[in-house]
Amino acid sequence: MTATAERIPTSALASAPALSQRSPLSDTLRKLRRHRSFQIGFVLLSLLVLIAIFADVIAPFDPIRPLSGVKRRDTPCIHLLGCPPSQPEHLMGIDGNNRDLFSRVIHGSRLSLQIGFTTTLFALIIGSLLGAIAGYAGGWSDNIIMRVMDVVLAFPSLLLAIAIVSVLGPGLINALLAIGIVSIPIYARLFRASVLAVKGQEYVTAARAVGGSGMRLLFRHILPNALTPIVVQGTLGIATAILEAAALSFLGLGAEVPKPEWGLMLGEERNSVFNAPHLVFFPGVAIMLTVLSFNLLGDGLRDALDPRLRIA
Amino acid sequence: MHRTILSLLVVLLIALAACGTPSTPSAPTSAATTQPSAPTAAATSAATRAATTAATTAATSAATSAPTGNLMKVAAPDCNYGDKDNPAGIKSIEATDKYTVVFTLCHQNPTFAQAVAFVTNSIQEKAILDQTKGDSAELSKKPNGTGPWMLKEWAHGDHITFEANPNYWGTKPKVKTVILRWSKEAAQRLLELQSGTIDGMTNIAVDDIANVQKDAKLKVFPRNPLTIVYLGMNNTKKPFDNEKVRQAIAMAVDRKRIVDNFYPAGSLVAEQFAPPAITPGHNASKWYNYDVAAAKKMLADAGFPNGFDVELSYREVTRVYLPSPGKVAQDLQAQLKDIGINVKLTPVESSAFIQSVRAGERTMFLLGWGADYPDATNFYDTHFSAAIKQFGTVYSDLAQEISAGGSIFDPVERQKHYDKVNDLIKQHAPVVPLAHGTSADAFKATVQGAHASPIENEKFVVMDPGKAQLVYMQNAEPGTLWCADEEDGETFRACLQIYEGLLTFKVGSVDVEPALAESFKSSTDGMTWTFNLRKGVKFFSGHELDANDVVASYESQWNAKSPNHTGEKLGYTYFGSFFGACLNGPKC
Amino acid sequence: MAQFILRRLFFLIPVLIGILFVTFALARLIPGDPCAAMLGERYTPEKCVNFRIIYGLDDPLPVQFLRYLAQVFQGNLGNSIRTGRSVTDIISERLPMTVELTIGAMLFATSVGVLFGIISAVRHNTSIDAATMIGANIGVSMPVFWIGLMLAYVFALVLRDTPFFIPPSGRLTAGLSMTPLLQEWNLQDANGLVAFVVGLISNSVILHSLISGKLHILKDGLWHLILPSLAVGTIPLAIIARLTRSSLLDVLHQDYIRTARAKGLPSRWVLFRHALRSALVPIVTIIGLQIGSLLSGAVLTETVFALPGIGTQLVTAIEGRDYPIVQGFTIVVAVVFASVNILVDLSYAYLDPRIRVQ
């Protein structure tokens, strides 16, 4: 069939099953522990998760309600750096609606993590299902599914997401749906490639010959084999999803005000880069750190699980 | 499997088909007949000319030397050619000699002079109009005007280069070249200005104004506010069918806080719908005082002691009247929370928002208006007249007063109507007028003659940067370079450098002064307007301006049956709002 | 091979029709109409009745789609609703800018990315490696518009009066211009393909200035391209750096490299003569793949730098519901994107014969 439509070299995937030799798990863990990028990513992400869980405790102010008695867009007031103790401390300053920016950034971590996980999970499940059907059934259903995926991939993903949100109407849920939809094809292709790779192996042919059922094949042979690339791609996909959600919110198509979403915070203050840089700087850094942590994790996983995996 | 997908596709197609509503083709109807225009009826025109010259004897001997011989006249048979929403405004337009044009009106029109000065009513050469059929895309290719600037190059997407018209009749341009650029982002425009690559820019971001004012190299030019931003409420949606609820909200909004926080200096807290510069129209009356306790009580009286939930919709589009829509909406949300109202904010995409507001589908909405021309009709009629559905059922007492105020000429009499209008708006509270927002342009301090016009009619001809070229950066690219059928300010700004009307707005002001007309006068009843054209004004093509050019230019917009009335498919919306119905229209 | 190419092209046909369908459907399903978008606050439903009839906007959507399809297959993308100009003309004005920007970003991303990758691989598992990779990862993790504004701020404002000043926006310094080639070559009456191609060349500042030998304009054009290229190229740079590193590591651990080292060849020699060469295959492939994301990056970045490319026009057209432009431009982007994908597939097939057999 037309495995050639792949953007991922199938040859690289085809050799994946040969990878696991002796106690693969401990091997992987050992590699991961030694991997510097992974270490840094892991620490960052753990911190972020903690912040998200304890956001209510950490954030000193309400992220939504405007404060009274503060100066709008005021620069950070940090006692350690010489801000008089008589003034209340605002680590990242005050935003354009008289709110404590630090509290908003802290609460934003919740949203961003939720966004990353839900969209990726959505795309992963649907994409894998489609890929499995396409790869397993082959023939016309394979053709139709993969052509539809080609059409989706024919558009730059963010542009397509923008178009979909424009149709559905702006809003966080719709933005998540759009990002999920545009990232389906990559999982479909990955999964299909794995299925095809396994399908050709002798032991699967043998299993089929002795009457192994489809379900059994799927869970015993195909899923474990597809897991490696999917996990790596999924981790990197979370990073992309967070970035794309931020971009949509930046354009006013994602999260609704007054939600403390980082991209939205950037978008609201897009013209403040030069006159109140803290309003743009801190949410930008928050996005960067979160995305970075997933990228580093993904890098580490890839190196540890399969050095030959060349998905960008 | 593939069958499933195919059937899905079929369902999708059916759904799509169902979405498209069946078309209701109705060819533009021709209600009234027109007096034949020049090309077809030279005989009648000649007869008219004979009559006119006989009547006005000595004064205008020029007419006899008219080389073309035939003078145009376009006239409606009577003043019944409009309909209820678009009443007939013009009776006839006539070239009485080579340099005189007479407009006869159907009723008094207080904004007539301003309309004539507006850029959509610029004068084009008759021969060129006939040749291009008045199509703005064609007319933009090699614009032919009488103004101080000629088009040298339009690098689509990037910039427009104008060069000085060496034969310009008025004050000569100070520089050889003007380059018009554009960028959507205010931060970007300011960065260009600060880095010295441009000489002037439109609309500084609100929060930048204070910084720019401190910069000795730059100078800020604030506009006199001619805008209104309002919180609209639809009386067909619960609970806004209750006048007390609307009044409670009117008291619960701290307008001063909004202006202080989200508007540049020079903006005003709105006490009425029309800004102070609009006279007649604005008066001394004040809006409700900000009073949370009174608002709460009023709300309780109305049957909502615990408040209610409501949706506030707005669009995330920066306008002079609303520089930060999201922030104002969030502030309103927080303010209304104080009287127990839970506001859900719903940003809606721009054009969909406008459509649904105008269709009367939005419960509570944040919108505004910037003046096209400084007259009360441009504020009141566009919002509260009988044809407007955005606040639900029309307040008929209010609509009546507005209609009366807009069809008479005497300012004192008009003000009496508008006094009542202001009282009625306060009583019914269909809107909470929030602010009259202003905007500011910025220039390098070295640019002489820099200015900002209240209606964004900046004229490059008086600007002198002290070097060979002036670079100016606005918000967006002009759509075309012929503005009769245009709608947006960015396009207007480009057009008014090239074209001129009979009258024009004074630099940086909303007062009119003669332009292509050397002088003009209206009859005492305001029903007849006579314009005496400036002699020796040449179009870029070399043709000398004459009265037929004026009549032809107006006819192309006014007469829906004119071969030159093609224009853009949207029609001549400004002409309609200035002069009412179109001949053979009834809409323009 | 020929059969393979034919088969790929054959499968492109349904994809193209799919693209047309999706583009059309998306454009029409977006709420709001062009008339309301043009009128803004001045919109009233009555003003738009005639407009909708003239543009057939009230016809059933399948009818509109078939009409559009028929038009496209005649090579006609229609006229802009807003300005009445031909969409093909507008494409020939806008595409060169976007392509120039994409290429500029590509050059930057490739050169620096490969360099970083090599450094990182050679110093594998050292702090330099970690720092480079974290740096590369930071590059992928920044929002593009943010990078753009920051670059503009530093180079246009902070370095204003130094030789390092770089203009923050625009295609050329105000005042510089060139005569369109159609005019220069007396081809004003040309239409169809000739006009389109000459238009493309003429509107590419780099090609045009090279052809007419105006080197000062070439220099100015390149100068204006620097910041946007940096902004667009940062993300692909990081991706290329990561891939270069991993594929180089892969190669360095293979037997023949070990042998070469064991033979006592200087390690730099081994690196450049042997390792880099074989590592280049996947690198070249990934560069091909990145063109797509570069293209969309370019489209998004143009707004930040006020560049007259596809992106700025597309944004304006979407806001204005200028369907012919939205459709025409999306098709162009999608076709370019799809062609690049095919080229990449072909290069796989060329590099790895096993794929053809499948």
In contact, B457 and B228? CB cutoff 8 Å: no
What confidence tens digit (pLDDT) does each residue in B501-559 have? 999 999 999 999 999 999 999 999 999 999 999 999 999 999 999 999 999 999 999 99
Residue A253 pLDDT class (50, 70, 90 cuts): confident
Does the distance separating the beta carbons of A40 and C134 come in below 8 Å? yes
Distance from CA of C68 to the nearest CA of B (A): 15
From residue B202, how far is each of B184, B489, C160, C320 by CA, in Å? 10, 11, 22, 21
Contacts of C336 in chain A (CB under 8 A): none
Q: Cα–Cα distance between A107 and B401 in angstroms, integer? A: 52
Residue length of chain B = 588
Contacts of B184 in chain A (CB under 8 A): none
What confidence tens digit (pLDDT) does each residue in B286-339 have? 999 999 999 999 999 999 999 999 999 999 888 889 999 999 999 999 999 999
Interface test with B, best of A97, A164, A266 (most B CBs within 10 A): A97
Give the per-residue pLDDT at B54: 34
User: How many CB pairs below 8 Å do chains A and C form together?
Assistant: 159
What confidence tens digit (pLDDT) does each residue in A82-115 have? 888 888 899 999 999 999 999 999 999 999 999 9
In single-letter form, the type of residue at position B475 comes to: N
What confidence tens digit (pLDDT) does each residue in B284-299 have? 999 999 999 999 999 9
Does the distance separating the beta carbons of C58 and B85 come in below 8 Å? no
Kind and range of the H or E run holding A164: helix A157-168
Chain C nearest-CA residue for A271: C149
Contacts of B208 in chain A (CB under 8 A): 271, 274-275
Give the per-residue pLDDT at C49: 86
Sheet with B100-105, strands from edge to edge, namely B73-75, B90-97, B100-105, B528-533, B517-522
Give the per-residue pLDDT at C351: 59
Does the distance separating the beta carbons of C250 and A159 come in below 8 Å? no
Distance from CA of C195 to the nearest CA of B (A): 16
Of the candidates A150, A167, A312, which has its C-beta nearest C286's C-beta? A312
Does the distance separating the beta carbons of C46 and B573 come in below 8 Å? no
Torsions phi, psi for B552 (to 5 deg): -65, -40
What confidence tens digit (pLDDT) does each residue in C3-58 have? 777 887 787 788 888 888 888 988 888 888 899 888 888 888 888 888 888 888 88
Give the per-residue pLDDT at B457: 93
From residue C181, how far is each of C187, C193, C194, C200, C205 by CA, in Å? 8, 15, 12, 10, 11
DSSP secondary structure code for residue C273 in this structure: I
Residue C129 pLDDT class (50, 70, 90 cuts): confident
Q: Cα–Cα distance between B134 and B124 in angstroms, integer? A: 9
Q: Which chains touch C (3 or more CB pairs under 8 A)?
A: A, B
Torsions phi, psi for B178 (to 5 deg): -120, 130
Of the candidates A97, A169, A274, which has its C-beta nearest B327's C-beta? A97
In single-letter form, the type of residue at position B305 comes to: P
Q: Cα–Cα distance between A210 and A196 in angstroms, integer? A: 20
Residue C354 pLDDT class (50, 70, 90 cuts): low
Of the candidates C40, C306, C315, which has its C-beta nearest B354's C-beta? C40
What average pLDDT does range B75-90 have in this prediction?
A: 88
DSSP secondary structure code for residue B232 in this structure: E
Does the distance separating the beta carbons of A308 and C333 come in below 8 Å? no
Strand partners, A132: none
Q: Is the pLDDT confidence value at B11 over 50?
A: no
Q: Is the pLDDT confidence value at B588 over 80?
A: no
User: What SS3 string covers B325-378?
Assistant: HHHHHHHHHHHHHCCCCEEEEEECCHHHHHHHHHCCCCCEEEEEEECCCCCHHH
Distance from CA of B334 to the nearest CA of A (A): 7
In single-letter form, the type of residue at position B6 comes to: L
Share above pLDDT 70 across residues of chain C, in percent, rounded to a whole number: 95
Does the distance separating the beta carbons of A166 and B2 come in below 8 Å? no
Give the per-residue pLDDT at A306: 63
Q: Is the pLDDT confidence value at B436 over 90?
A: yes
- Closest by CA position to A36, among listed C129, C34, B531: C129
Does the distance separating the beta carbons of A65 and B187 come in below 8 Å? no
Cβ within 8 Å of residue A63, ≥6 positions away = A99, A100, A103, A104, A106, A107, A260
Interface test with C, best of A6, A142, A289, A310 (most C CBs within 10 A): A310
Residue C350 pLDDT class (50, 70, 90 cuts): low
Contacts of B587 in chain C (CB under 8 A): 46-47, 50
Q: Cα–Cα distance between B165 and B149 in angstroms, integer? A: 5
User: Quick check: helix, strand or coil at residue A100?
Assistant: strand
Does the distance separating the beta carbons of B488 and C38 come in below 8 Å? yes
In contact, B117 and B512? CB cutoff 8 Å: yes
What average pLDDT does range C140-164 have in this prediction?
A: 84
DSSP secondary structure code for residue A86 in this structure: T
The runs of H, that is alpha helices, within chain C are 2-29, 34-39, 45-54, 61-73, 87-122, 127-141, 144-152, 181-184, 192-203, 205-211, 215-252, 255-262, 267-269, 276-305, 310-320, 323-351, 353-357
Torsions phi, psi for B25 (to 5 deg): -70, 130
Give the per-residue pLDDT at B33: 34
DSSP secondary structure code for residue B102 in this structure: E
Of the candidates C25, C50, C174, which has its C-beta nearest B469's C-beta? C174
Contacts of A44 in chain C (CB under 8 A): none
What confidence tens digit (pLDDT) does each residue in A22-49 have? 566 777 788 788 777 788 899 999 999 9
In contact, B248 and B292? CB cutoff 8 Å: no
Q: Is the pLDDT confidence value at B496 over 70?
A: yes
Kind and range of the H or E run holding A116: helix A101-137
What average pLDDT does range B176-200 have in this prediction?
A: 92
Q: Is the pLDDT confidence value at B12 over 60?
A: no
Contacts of A67 in chain B (CB under 8 A): none
What confidence tens digit (pLDDT) does each residue in B219-262 have? 999 998 999 999 999 999 999 999 999 999 999 999 999 999 99
User: Which of B387-401, B428-442, C262-276 has the weakest average pLDDT?
Assistant: C262-276
Contacts of B355 in chain C (CB under 8 A): 31-33, 36, 43, 45
Residue A303 pLDDT class (50, 70, 90 cuts): confident
Give the per-residue pLDDT at B269: 97
Chain A contact for C107 (CB, 8 A cutoff)? no
Q: Cα–Cα distance between B317 and A85 in angstroms, integer? A: 40
Cβ within 8 Å of residue B266, ≥6 positions away = B222, B223, B225, B438, B440
Q: Which chains touch B (3 or more CB pairs under 8 A)?
A: A, C
Interface test with C, best of B120, B156, B474, B480 (most C CBs within 10 A): B156
Chain A contact for B351 (CB, 8 A cutoff)? no
DSSP string, B123-151: ---HHHHHHHTT-HHHHHHS---SSSEEE
End-to-end CA distance of chain B: 55
Does the distance separating the beta carbons of C93 and B157 come in below 8 Å? yes
In single-letter form, the type of residue at position A81 comes to: L
Of the candidates C247, C285, C299, which has its C-beta nearest A159's C-beta? C299
Share above pLDDT 90 across residues of chain C, in percent, rounded to a whole number: 25
Does the distance separating the beta carbons of C36 and B354 come in below 8 Å? yes
The ipTM is: 0.83
Chain B nearest-CA residue for C53: B25
- pTM exceeds cut of 0.90: no
Chain A nearest-CA residue for C340: A154
Residues 225-284 of A with CB under 8 A from C: 239, 243, 246-247, 250, 263, 266, 270, 273-274, 280, 284
Kind and range of the H or E run holding A103: helix A101-137
**Helices A157-168 & C2-29 angle (0-180, nearest 10):** 30
Contacts of A303 in chain C (CB under 8 A): 246
Distance from CA of A129 to the nearest CA of B (A): 13
Q: Cα–Cα distance between C99 and C310 in angstroms, integer? A: 9
User: Quick check: helix, strand or coil at residue B282?
Assistant: coil
Torsions phi, psi for B95 (to 5 deg): -90, 110
* Residue tagged 């089929």 (tokens): A208
Sheet with B431-436, strands from edge to edge, namely B268-269, B431-436, B227-233, B364-370, B309-314, B342-347
What average pLDDT does range B7-18 have in this prediction?
A: 37
Q: Is the pLDDT confidence value at C268 over 70?
A: yes
Q: Is the pLDDT confidence value at A180 over 50?
A: yes
Cβ within 8 Å of residue B484, ≥6 positions away = B120, B121, B122, B134, B136, B553, B556, B557, B567, B572, B575
Q: How many CA atoms lie within 13 A of B457 on its CB side?
A: 24
Does the distance separating the beta carbons of A151 and C11 come in below 8 Å? no
Question: Percentages helix, strand, coil for chain A, rounded to the nearest 5?
Answer: 70, 0, 25
Does the distance separating the beta carbons of A299 and C137 come in below 8 Å? yes
User: How many CB pairs below 8 Å do chains B and C form together?
Assistant: 193
Chain C contact for B97 (CB, 8 A cutoff)? no
- Closest by CA position to B537, among listed B514, B512, B510: B514
Chain C contact for A158 (CB, 8 A cutoff)? yes
Q: Is the pLDDT confidence value at B462 over 60?
A: yes
What average pLDDT does range A224-249 have in this prediction?
A: 87
Strand partners, B219: B443
Give the per-residue pLDDT at B61: 31
Of the candidates B327, B331, B347, which has its C-beta nearest A252's C-beta? B347
Residues 307-346 of C with CB under 8 A from A: 318, 330, 333-334, 337-338, 341, 344-345
Distance from CA of C278 to the nearest CA of A (A): 14
Q: Cα–Cα distance between A149 and A145 in angstroms, integer? A: 6
What is the widest separation between alpha-carbon atoms in chain A?
81
Distance from CA of B35 to the nearest CA of A (A): 49
Q: Cα–Cα distance between B242 and A241 in angstroms, integer? A: 46
Distance from CA of B215 to the nearest CA of C (A): 14
What is the rounded average pLDDT for all residues in chain B? 87
Chain A contact for B66 (CB, 8 A cutoff)? no
